[in-house]
Every structure is written in structure tokens, then in C-alpha cells.
Amino acid sequence: MMKPLMLRRCLPNGTLTVVNMDPIGIRRVPFIPSLDLMNLRCSQRPVGVRQASSTTRDTLSTSFSSERNELSKDILLEKIMSSSDTAEIFESIKHHLSIMNPSHQFNALNALFQLEKSGNSTISKQAIAKSPEFQNLCKQLFIKIHTFRTDDVITMLKCLIYFNVHPKAKILQGALKILASNVNELSLQNIVFLDFLLSDLQTSPLVEALKISLPIVFQAQYSNRVNSESNASLIDMLAFATRKQLSEDVSNKLIDTLVERNNIEYTERNAKSIVMSIANCKVLNSVHGILLKRTLMWISQNLNRFSFDDIEGLVGKLINKYVWVDDIFYHEIFLNSVIDYLIENQHSFNTCTYILKKLARIHFVSKPLLEHMARKAYENPVQLEKINPGASISFVASLSDGNYKPPHWELIQTYILHNFENTFMTSDKLELPWLKIALEFASLDVYPPFLYDKIFDSHFLDKYVREDNVLDYFQLVSVHQINQTLNPNPQSKLEPPRQFLMKAVEFHRARKEYPLLAALEKGLGGKQFVLNDVFTKYYHYIDHLIAMRKGGYAIPLQFSSADPSEPVFLEDIRATLPEGHYM
């Protein structure tokens, strides 16, 4: 038996009617829904509510077709758009899905997204996605998906991804296929936003194909379209171009356009985006520096609009790029503004160390910041016994760089040393730079006995010193020299095991270049007047040694140790010189 076919249409007076068609004949029956639809007008085309935007997935802008005035009388659409809770949308879907046109369906999906995202939902995101109303809505959207504009398909994809629709669902796959077939028609803005959406999707051949094609299409089209784009769009495109490592021409064109316009309306988001984008550029020129400087000046003047995490991220990125890439990333005004921000907002000692650690990489010292941190430490010195040792290291290293002892230093150092001692005694903590810690404290006239006891222990050094790492051995020798020469209460019996000192000697002897040697030998009259690779008893290294007799005349030095592997010591040479000779 054939099933009757039900058709709906609008009469000229606006009344919605239902026509039942069956084998017997045609019968027209008035349709009276539970919702007052007497004034409902049927729309022939879906209307998208979002102009594609790459700012964030939450930013939508409503766009209406030429039928806007007509649609404004669409009671069902108005009910959907005015809903204040997702439950109201579900009610509309439950009772009226069968009469919804594509425009109603699209706006219902988008309204669910908007309400849930803004927190105006009594139903969880997971419950929404699993509900029969949502699943039935997706089925209907899939049937008509080919009728939607590209902008609307992208918005639909955004909503589906947000609700964690299964990657293999027909509606999601259908949206991806339509976008893939129309990829060459996408606007630059749509390309950027679609790429952002794809990053949240499980990988698949279709997703990967789109990810590959989007940068190619962008690069092919950018030159003819850039000038017509807004500054906000250009900034998003710059982030896309640098993240995808497109050709230098693309990023240069975008930066040139922004610099020439010189009318950016900065926000926290786009200012941060510009800095990160320039930091991701592989090749830099003067124009990059101009845009970066302008942006950092704005950030410096508006730091209170940023979160601490954002500020920390910017400082870290800039300093890392300054160290490894280019001087354009050094901006003293910005760094000083960050310090003012920390002080004015009374950030804690521990919080300040996150910034201080980064500043220490470039030996940037701020006395006001150190004083602020000292005050915070003095207010609650017990915290210094519990904070991460890395925070204490940053503080001590900055004091050492500035050769500065802040107020209450005697009290502060006691708690810091207690922290280190507890850490050291509990575990060796081999990841911490213990030799550097000893050197930093020594520059502040602090010589902790427990530290020397530990770092001169052979069992500790066997685990700590990395094989063939020159820095480790040279730092160990430096600590030994400090302990023997500067420590007012030297632990005279404490010194590193000799095999570690001899390893440092080997590293010194491995040096092959002596730029001054030839000139010294020629000036003094021969090789016999210059002795190389000499050490003091504390293993200070001397490149070249010259001995003089009275009157300033050089004398030959033909001194060597009995064992070639043993170093030649300055003290042994001095003992052989006649009275009146000097070195």
C-alpha cells in the first residue's frame, strides 16, 4: 500500500495549509498547530546568522538575506531566536521539526550553541548532543546541507565540533565534503577560521586533505584580496601565515599593509597575536621591527588589561627570541613596564620569580623589583622554606648579577639556605645547578658549609658532573678556588677529588689556539722565553708565563713536570727563580 504524501504550502493570505495526496485523490485540510502560525510565512532559502569570522569560535555576527523583512514575520524563527534557554529550543524542535525549513533548522542549531556556550542552558553539552531532538535536527540538516551557503556550512561545522559530534557522523562528513569541493571559493577569512576548526577534529583523509589545501589556496589568493581586508582580519591572517610557515612574501605583504595603514585598533588579543606572529617569522627585516615596536608600546601602556599568564608568555617569548634570533625582540620599555606592573599590583614573591627567571636569562636586573620581592619575602619569610628551589635560584642569581644585597638580606638568606639544605639533604636533586648556586652565593659573600660538603663529595660528583661537559668541570674548579681564596672560614681540608681537577686540566690543555703566542715569542726573542699552560696550586689557568730579571729582560723558561700528564704549577717555577727575578 502506498503511503500518503503530505505537502505544506502557504496560501496568499499567509495561512499555512496541509495537502494530503493519496491514491484516492487530493484533499486540502487546514493545519492548526499548537503554536500560533497563522501569520507564518514560508521561506524558500536558508538564512545564515554568521558571517565567517576567524576571531574566535564564539564570535558570531548575524547576516540576513534580502528577505529579512519577510523573515521578521516568521513566528517560529522569532521564537527560536528569542529563546533564553536550550530547553526552549528543544521544545520547538520537538513540536515543529516537521514543519521547519532549512533556515529554522540552521538557526536552531546555532541558538543551541550560543545558549550553551554563554551558560544559559539547563542541559549539559553532553546531554544536548545525545538528545533525540539534537540528533533528529542533525538528520534534517544533513538532508538539506547542499542548500546552505559556504559561510553557513562553516558555522554549522563549528557548532557540531563544539557539541563533540562523532567525526564519522553523516552531518559532519557532509559539511566537510561540501567545504572540500568549494575550497577554491573560500574567502581568506573563511580559510583561516576553517583551519582553526579543523585543529579540533580527529584526523581523517578528508580532514588532512583540507588541512593541506587551505594554505595552498590562501597563498594563491592573498595578493589580490589583502588590501580589501580589515586590520583585524589581516592580523588573523598573519597568525595563520606564520603558523603554517607560508612563504616570506605572504607574511611580508601582511606586515607591510599593517605598517602602511598605521591605524590598528589594538585589543589584548590582536596585540598578543602580532607579537607571537612576528616571533614565528623565519626571516626578519626592519618592517617587522616597526610593527613589533608599535605593538609593544601599546602593550606597555595597557598592561593592566592583560592577565598575568599572558604577560609571562609574552616576556618568555620575547626573551627567548632575543637570545637566539634577533635584537629587535629586546624592548626595554616593555620590560620595565612589566616590572612596574608587578610592583603596582603587589604580586607575591613567588609570582615575581616567574618573570625574574626569564629576565635572568639576559641578565636584566631591576633594583626596584628586587626590593619589592625582598619586602614580600620579609613579610612572610617562612614561605622561602617552602617555595620551589628554582624560584630561590632566580632571586639569588639576580642579586648576584646586580651585585646587590636588598633590605633584610641577612634574614632572607637564612630561610633560602634552609630551603636549599632541606632540598639537598632530602634528595640530590641532580637537575638543579648546584655548582652555579654556590658561585652565586659566593658573589654575595655567602659560603654555606653544607653546600661545599655536598658538592665536593665524590659520590655526588660522579652522578652530577656530565662526562666531557666543559662547563661542569670549570664551575667545579671555580668553586674550589673561591672556597680556598675568598671564604673567610675556608674548609681547608675540603676540595674536589683530584680526578675531577685533572679533567679540568685536560680541557684547558686541549686548547689549540693562542692568538698572542707568536707575537710574544717574536717580541721577546724566541720560544724559550714563553711558557704556556701553567696552573696555580688552586688550578687557576695561565695562558702564557714570562719571567723577567732586573732591568726588565726576559729570561728563558725551560720548566716541565716529571710526569707529562701532570700540570706545571706556578709555585714550582717561582721556587726555582733566582732572587730579584719576577713573573
Q: DSSP per residue over 270-294, as a string?
A: HHHHHHHHHHT-SS--HHHHHHHHH
More confident residue, 118 or 423: 118
Q: Measure CA 291 to chain center.
A: 20
pLDDT at res. 507: 87
Three cell numbers at 206? Answer: 578528508
Q: What pLDDT, in 10s, does the model give residues 407-462? A: 999 999 999 998 888 877 677 678 888 999 999 999 999 999 888 988 898 998 99
Three cell numbers at 21? Answer: 495526496
User: Whole-prediction pTM value?
Assistant: 0.76
pLDDT at res. 491: 63
Three cell numbers at 292? Answer: 613589533
**Which of 94-108, 199-213, 354-368, 522-536 shows the lowest per-residue confidence on average (mean pLDDT)?**
522-536
| Residue pair 402/439 in contact by the 8 Å Cβ criterion | no
Tell me how far apart the alpha carbons of residues 204 and 182 are, in angstroms, rounded to a whole number: 18
CA nearest to 476, candidates 497, 448, 446 = 497
- Write out the E strands in 52-109: none
Tell me how far apart the alpha carbons of residues 409 and 334 are, in angstroms, rounded to a whole number: 29
Spell out the residues 6+ positions from residue 122 whose beta carbon is closer than 8 angstroms to its own.
85, 86, 87
Tell me how far apart the alpha carbons of residues 550 and 582 are, in angstroms, rounded to a whole number: 8
Three cell numbers at 322? Answer: 632575543
pLDDT above 90 as % of the chain = 54
Three cell numbers at 537? Answer: 696550586
Q: What pLDDT, in 10s, does the model give residues 525-578? A: 888 888 888 888 988 988 888 988 888 888 888 777 767 778 888 888 887 887
pLDDT at res. 361: 92
- Write out the E strands in 446-520: none
Number of alpha carbons in the 13 Å side-chain half-sphere of residue 283? 8
For all residues of the chain together, what is the average pLDDT? 84
pLDDT at res. 506: 87
Residue that has been written with the C-alpha cell 701532570 in this structure: 566
CA nearest to 102, candidates 160, 161, 43 = 43
Three cell numbers at 555? Answer: 729570561
Q: What pLDDT, in 10s, does the model give residues 225-253? A: 888 899 999 999 999 999 999 999 999 99
Helices 188-198, 231-243: inter-axial angle, 10-degree rounding: 50
When pLDDT is averaged across residues 265-285 and rounded to a whole number, the result is: 95
Give the CA dihedral 576, 579, 582, 583, nearest 10 degrees. Answer: 0
Locate the domains of the chain by residue range: 1-32, 520-576
pLDDT at 290 over 90: yes
